[in-house]
């Protein structure tokens, strides 16, 4: 999966991700539950660029400056 918006739209509303249904959120979580921090960051990067910041951001050596500057 290369995007959060693979089949259904995931929106950014007031800097929070908004899913069209609970099922969509559950499926997305299940598909990515064991993903590495690098993969998770790539999925979320377009949203970070628009102002999103997760409660526990997936920090890696490559993105730590980006995350640090958002906090």
**Sequence ranges of the domains in the chain:** 11-70
What's the average model confidence in pLDDT over 14-25? 91
Contact between residue 62 and residue 38 where contact means Cβ atoms under 8 Å apart? yes
The pLDDT assigned to 48 comes to 87
Residues 2-17: pLDDT tens digits? 556 555 588 999 989 9
- State the DSSP string of 18-67: E-S-HHHHHHHHHHHTT--HHHHHHHHHHHHHTT---SS----TTTHHHH
pTM exceeds 0.75 = no
Residues 55-66: pLDDT tens digits? 888 888 888 888
């Amino acid at each position: 999966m290369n995007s959060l918006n693979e089949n259904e739209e995931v929106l950014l509303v007031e800097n929070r991700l908004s899913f069209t249904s609970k099922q969509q959120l559950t499926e997305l979580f299940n598909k990515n539950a064991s993903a590495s921090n690098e993969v998770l960051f790539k999925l979320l990067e377009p949203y970070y660029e628009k102002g999103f910041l997760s409660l526990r951001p997936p920090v890696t050596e490559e993105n730590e400056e980006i995350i640090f500057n958002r906090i």
